[in-house]
Chain A
Amino acid sequence: MSPFRTVPLGIAAVTLVATLWLAGTASTSAPVHAEANGSPALLTDPQVVGMRRLTEAQYRNSIADIFGSDIRVAGRFEPIVRPAHQLIASGARSSAITPSGLEQFDAMAREIARQVFDEEHRAQFTACVPADPAGADASCAGRTLAPLGRLLFRRPLSEQELALYVRIAGEGAGPTRSFAKGLELALGAMLVSPLFLYVVETAQPDPVRPGVMRLDDNSRAARLSFMLWNSAPNAALLDAAAAGRLTDQPQLAATVRRMVASPRFEQGLRAFFSDMLLFEKFDELAKDPVIYPYFNQDVLQALPEQMLRTITTQLLDGDGDYRELFTTRKTWMNRALGALYRVPVSQSQGWVPYEFTAESDRSGLLGLAGFLAMYSHSGRSSPTLRGRAIRELLLCQPVPNPPGNVNFTAVQDTGNKAMPTARIRLDAHTTDPVCAGCHKITDPIGLPLERFDGIGGFRTFENEAAIDVSGEMDDTRFTGGDGLGKAIAASKDATLCVTSRALEYATGRPSEDGELIERLEGGFAAQGYRLRQLIETIASLPQTYEVPTESIKAGTTLVATRR
């Protein structure tokens, strides 16, 4: 097999650019090099206006795209703290790297670098034949490291930066008597650099609007790539940045259009919903094995995947209406889930498309076991948790925490014969007016899902008592999961919510601009609530690349702002 067939995205192209530059030609693709003129600063003129830590998925995808998916990434990632009622994408902006976090990043970096320059892979990534494979070769090291550095740091390396990594390669090659070992050390150093672990955003003055700062081309390339594909920008996108195409509005729009039309957009959309729907909680999900013998590791792993497949099928295949995400019966099944849903799955491996029956009462995302199990207790369902999750995640309406001194005595355990169903137990609890205030906003939208138990299995009775699934949301009355799905689909809050989340996801900060969100939602509505369109609009919007003035003053980390 030709080595080029396994060369991941754009290495070959980028190698050419770097070669030109190293030969002393001022390539149009590498303006930063041309401007470097011996200034001591590694980051020259552009002003750093933000640093967003890579998420685990972004790190993994970057490595797979730059070096190939056969390079294993083994290690634990320091979690990014999610700020209350915000996205992890926003938390990444204030996320630091602790000593034990760096220890892990360092171990991963060394392991990745070792694989990249092992005997099997090194030819693929080494741009030239070293003069002596058992010694240093600064020229060849430079030609190898420049293109890799450009992909890893998402911009061309400055002269000083490249000189630093070439020096490391040389110092490593000497004592180890191996040119490849030197490259390995230099690559390890790049992978542990803050320039890789953080997406460093730089800005320039907006030529059209004096006094306004906007992200420069390289930062736009990174923002687009992580927003739309959840991975590092490839060489083509960096070339577009180098040519100034991403600060040119029509060319930016054309680039975005191509990117959202790409199959890789699915990876981006999955990442967006994993963030919006708090999928990190699946890491902690546990169920009582005695009560739910069907619940095992295979089921646990299938739960988020089924939700994501349902989402991408609805929103990407045929560009469906976002609102139908709450009413569709189309989903996917695998063998592990078949037992939970009590439906036959013909294939023993993999996923098959499945459509719920009209009698199933499973309507869209909220009828899926992933949602139902997540917002339940370990041994029983919880209308309150489900209602709260719907309010907070899908309608962007934060529900107050229970007061500190609340008395839960009125909620009795499930074995209480006098109160067989959750509705009866909650009614008893909410006779207390202090509790009733909040339960009124959660329970009536959680109770319609009571036909689904703590792992999302269907039932019509709880403790031998028939389950009442009537519910109410913002003065609309309905019954069951179907009624709830329709109510959410009809709610303007749901479409406003996803609009604001998409904007927050793009910029890494919650938007304070209510008018902008309403305007975007208007456009979303006009286009039949196609999410691909909404995200395309946001990614092409000048405001998405505007730098808030606080970031420029940057006295403090702005986590959230009350309107």
Chain B
Amino acid sequence: MAFDISRRLALKGMMNGAAITVGVPLLDIFLDGNGVAMAATGAPVPVRFGTWFWGLGVNPSRWFPDNPGPGYDLKPELEVIKDHAHKINILGNFNVMLDGAPNLPHTSGGPAIRTGRALTAEGGLPGESFDVTIGDRIGTRTRFRSLETSASGDPRNSLSGRGGGNLNPSEGSAAGLYKRLFGTGFKDPNSADFTPDPEVMARRSVLSAVTDQRKALEGAVGAADRQKLDQYFTSVRQLENQLDVELTRPQPLQACLVPQPVADRAINAEIENVVANHALMTDLLVMALACDQTRVFNMMFNNGASSLTRIGSTITHHQLTHEEALDNRLGYQPEATYFLNRIFEAWTYFVAALDKVQEGDRTLLDNTLVFAHSETEFAKFHTIDNIPMMTAGSAGGRIKTGIYVDGLGTPISRVGLTLQQVMGVPIDKWGAKSMETGKSIGELVA
């Protein structure tokens, strides 16, 4: 097939792209989470939700279990989760349906999982990601509605947002994350003395004044700009809430231990560095949850078209998946798989870090629901059916664990629907076009 790039096509190219309208649901309701479970002590323990993303999928035959159901078999690439497998579910055979939209390599899969919609062009999200929807439900009373982090740096490495040109930027520096969480404004819940900071009180009144402008502003703008203003004022409400939390004496939290400051360090995609950065960020995130600074998080280990490098390798993880020959004897690409092994070690570190923290007779992991996923099945061919996914933790006993769920080729949006329902979002169907579904995953719901 030949491409004739004529001047006409060039002009057309300038006006490229289909008409895309990005509808962003308005958010005016600030619902408090119903997500409070009672621990054995009688003290309310919050339920948390988070995501953990890795780019470039898996070697399917070395990752997915053979047999659906509880007590699944562990393939070589998942062997590392062995000690925690009873708290982890594996999800396979759920499909991304694009309804004619292009399969944008390493880009289509992630947003489809998070929004239940097909992305039509690179850049942004085709709708609100469900971690945001869940955050609106359970994240409104904490200092941070949610925390986004990227162990490989780059604030644009994010799959969280309200749609369109709205992407929650990721914190790429562990030192920066520390300052945000435990620097100025942090109130140790276990500290004996508490005095509200007069400056915070003044800032609080400034924000009220900003909010006073809302009605007048919104009266003057068209619908598209009203959506932006709406999102802006949603953000203001969150900031007000953050200050309210800082002005309120916190409840003591047994599991909360304020971590040591983290020093500045290099931020890049070199694998050893990413692993170290991920571990530091994980430890901070775990304490952010234990100290109830947030109940929602998004951790990106690497990016979709993984730019992970390894000292001495000429090409990135991404290039390797495409260009490295399949080793006939091994049946997979050894250099690319090296990165996969490191990724699942990191995932195991993450799960173990949550599971180490005791909250009453459960662990922090038990009181959390972590959803882990990639953006492709087998990166070499950019396949987006059967994208590997996992959950860890039981959301305070709301979901069963230790199960391999075979989706039998049903829409991947069933996963998002189920997670939202488990976290208390009142919806009975979710997704768009072929990915619209009302069928949650019954096997998982406790």
- Mark A residues whose CB is within 8 Å of B: 40-43, 46-51, 76, 78-86, 91, 93-103, 106, 110, 160-161, 164, 167-168, 171-172, 175-176, 185, 188-189, 192-195, 197-198, 283-284, 286, 288-291, 377-380, 391, 395-398, 401-409, 411-415, 433, 436-438, 440-441, 474, 492-493, 496-497, 500, 510-512, 514, 517-518, 551-563
Contact = CB atoms under 8 A, between A and B. Distances in A.
A554 B270 CA distance: 45
Contact of B17 (A83, A110, A195): A83
Nearest to B153: A284
A79 B384 CA distance: 27
B169 to A, nearest CB: 5
B102 A288 contact: no
Given A377-B316, A378-B307, A84 B122 contact: yes
Candidate in B15, B103, B180, B311 with the most chain A CB atoms within 10 angstroms: B15
B315 A94 contact: no
B322 A408 contact: yes
Given A192-B210, A437-B3, 20 more contacts: A41-B216, A83-B124, A84-B121, A85-B17, A85-B121, A94-B224, A96-B165, A96-B231, A103-B180, A290-B312, A402-B105, A406-B382, A409-B326, A413-B324, A440-B2, A493-B10, A496-B7, A496-B11, A557-B224, A560-B18
Contacts of B124: 81, 83
Interface stretch (B67-75, B199-207, B424-432, B435-443): B199-207
Given A94-B22, A168-B209, A556-B223, A492 B7 contact: yes
A98 to B, nearest CB: 5
Nearest to A510: B15
Contacts of B219: 41
B14 A500 contact: yes
A512 B11 CA distance: 9
A48 B225 contact: yes
Interface of B: 1-3, 5, 7, 9-24, 102-105, 108, 121-124, 144-148, 153-156, 161-162, 164-169, 171, 176, 180, 198, 201-203, 205-206, 209-210, 212-213, 216-217, 219-225, 227-229, 231-232, 234-236, 238-239, 242, 268-270, 307, 309, 311-316, 319, 322-326, 380-384
| Minimum-distance CB pairs A-B, first 6 | A554-B222, A379-B314, A404-B103, A560-B17, A96-B166, A408-B322
A380 B315 CA distance: 7
Nearest to B24: A96
Contacts of A172: 202, 205-206
B311 A290 contact: yes
B11 A514 contact: yes
A511 B14 contact: yes
B314 A496 contact: no
Candidate in A289, A397, A411 with the most chain B CB atoms within 10 angstroms: A397
B30 to A, nearest CB: 12
A441 B382 contact: no
27 contacts: A42-B216, A48-B222, A48-B225, A82-B123, A91-B165, A94-B228, A95-B166, A96-B164, A98-B162, A98-B166, A98-B169, A100-B147, A100-B168, A102-B235, A103-B242, A161-B213, A168-B205, A176-B198, A391-B5, A398-B13, A404-B105, A405-B381, A405-B382, A405-B383, A437-B1, A497-B10, A497-B14
